[in-house]
Structure formats: structure tokens, C-alpha cells
């Protein structure tokens, strides 16, 4: 998939030809967003939400502050429909543009990705590679944590990722967003809860009614 013909930069080619200087991928090419687990359109969707909603503003400000800090961990807890996913996906699109190193995945998608490590002959080595990918990407969002019943394997593997990212953040090399309807204590063990609730991180607890009915047409 490349840009459409309406793209004013590459006119649908997906790249920019600089002649003797070489070829550059178009910054509008949606392929880079798909690899991150989002779409370019995700950046536009927050504009449909009520603009003066306090919950939306709290989420947006927390995501912005994390990006400005350049490292750390943000845990967003709140009910369905208040804008957690919409705003986190939009922030991931911006992270792709700014850092070139960003991933968004639902917890269930990440679990399936880790389980699939053993679908080939490489097994454990492939699992290590996949855990490293999520441990070392600069910006990571794991959404809908707690929506699925984890096996011990998934729980340990995801826990390894969260722990590694906590340590990477201490070195200024990781920004992590964890999203759930439930508090950290309900979805992680005490060891990881202690890291998530570190004073250097932020746990944002939100309440509010679903915005879906209020979305502007």
C-alpha cells in the first residue's frame, strides 16, 4: 500500500526521487503506520470527540507529557468509551512521525503474536526476538489489558516486556502506555505493580460516561 494520487508530496508513487542523491520514502506513505499497528486516519479521529471534555483533555495531556519527557511509563485506567484508545492510537501515529520507532497493539494481539513464536522451527529463539522487539521499541502502547484470560506463558512474556521497558525508561530509552479498564493490581503481579506505580511513572485513573454517543457526525 502506498500514498494515493492526492498526495501532494509523492503524487501516489510512495517515494520521492532525489536523482543522484537517491530515493526517499514518502513521509505520508501509510505503510509505516500499518507496521506500527495504526493508520494515518487515526490522527484525525480525536477531532470528532467533544472538544471540551475533561476526561479527553486529561488523557491527551498525559500522552503529550510522556512524549515530551522522552521516557517513562503511563498507565491509563478507565471505563469503556471515554477516548483512551482513540487518543493513544493518534499519539502512536505522531510517535511514528517523530521517532520512527513506535508500536500499538491490543493485549490480545500481542498475546497471539507471542504464542505464534512456536509455529516455526526456531521456537525459543523466535520468542526472544519478538520479546526484544516490544521491549526495545521507543514508543509502545498495549491496549485492553485484562480483556483476555492469559495463560502463564503469556503473562510471563508480557511481564518480561513491561519489566524490560521499565528498565529501559530509567536509561531514557522507552515510553510505554498501558491501557486497561482495571487497576494495575488486577492485571499484573506485585513485582510489576511496584514498577508501574514508581513515582517516576504516572497512573491516570479516570471516570466518565462513554463519548461514543456524543461523537460529532
151 and 196, same domain (yes or no): yes
pLDDT class for 14, splitting at 50, 70, 90?
Answer: low
Q: Same structural domain for residues 199 and 117? A: yes
Q: What per-residue string of b and e applies to 29-63 under the rule 16 or more CB within 10 Å gives b?
A: bbebbeebbbebebbebbeebeeebebbebbbebb
20 and 43 fall within a common domain: no
Contact 38, 92 (CB under 8 A): yes
Q: Say whether both 22 and 52 belong to one domain.
A: no
The CATH number that applies at residue 121 is 3.40.50.300
Three-state secondary structure call for residue 14: coil
**Which residue is it, cell 498495549?**
142
Domain range for 12 is 1-30
User: Percent of the chain at pLDDT above 70?
Assistant: 85
50/149 same-domain check: yes
3-state secondary structure of 94: helix
Average pLDDT of span 18-43: 74
For the stretch 86-138, pLDDT in tens is: 999 999 999 998 998 999 999 999 999 999 998 777 788 999 999 999 999 99
Q: Is the pLDDT of residue 172 over 50?
A: yes
Query: Which residue carries 487515526 as its cell?
Result: 42
Residue 45 and residue 42: Cα distance in Å, rounded?
Answer: 5
CB within 8 Å of 151: residues ≥ 6 apart? none
Q: Considering the entire predicted model, what is its pTM?
A: 0.84
pLDDT tens-place string over residues 33-87: 888 999 878 888 887 777 778 999 999 999 999 999 999 999 999 999 999 999 9
Domain count for the chain, please give it: 2
12 in the same domain as 86: no
62 and 81 share a domain?
Answer: yes
Same domain as 76, residue 136: yes
State whether 23 and 41 are in the same domain. Answer: no
Amino acid at each position: 500500500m502506498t500514498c494515493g494520487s492526492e498526495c501532494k508530496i509523492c503524487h501516489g508513487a510512495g517515494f520521492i526521487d532525489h536523482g543522484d542523491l537517491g530515493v526517499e520514502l514518502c513521509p505520508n506513505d501509510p505503510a509505516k503506520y500499518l507496521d506500527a499497528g495504526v493508520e494515518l486516519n487515526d490522527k484525525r479521529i480525536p477531532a470528532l470527540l467533544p472538544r471540551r471534555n475533561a476526561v479527553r483533555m486529561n488523557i491527551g495531556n498525559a500522552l503529550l507529557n510522556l512524549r515530551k519527557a522522552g521516557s517513562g511509563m503511563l498507565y491509563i485506567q478507565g471505563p469503556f468509551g471515554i477516548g483512551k484508545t482513540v487518543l493513544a492510537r493518534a499519539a502512536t501515529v505522531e510517535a511514528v512521525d517523530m521517532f520512527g520507532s513506535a508500536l500499538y497493539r491490543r493485549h490480545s494481539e500481542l498475546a497471539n503474536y507471542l504464542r505464534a513464536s512456536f509455529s516455526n522451527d526456531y521456537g525459543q529463539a523466535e520468542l526472544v526476538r519478538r520479546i526484544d522487539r516490544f521491549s526495545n521499541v521507543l514508543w509502545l502502547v498495549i491496549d485492553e489489558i485484562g480483556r483476555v484470560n492469559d495463560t502463564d506463558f503469556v503473562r510471563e512474556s508480557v511481564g518480561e516486556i513491561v519489566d524490560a521497558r521499565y528498565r529501559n525508561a530509567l536509561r531514557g530509552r522507552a515510553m510505554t502506555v498501558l491501557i486497561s479498564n482495571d487497576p494495575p493490581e488486577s492485571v499484573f503481579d506485585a513485582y510489576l505493580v511496584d514498577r508501574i506505580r514508581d513515582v517516576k511513572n504516572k497512573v491516570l485513573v479516570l471516570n466518565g460516561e462513554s463519548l461514543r454517543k456524543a461523537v460529532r457526525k
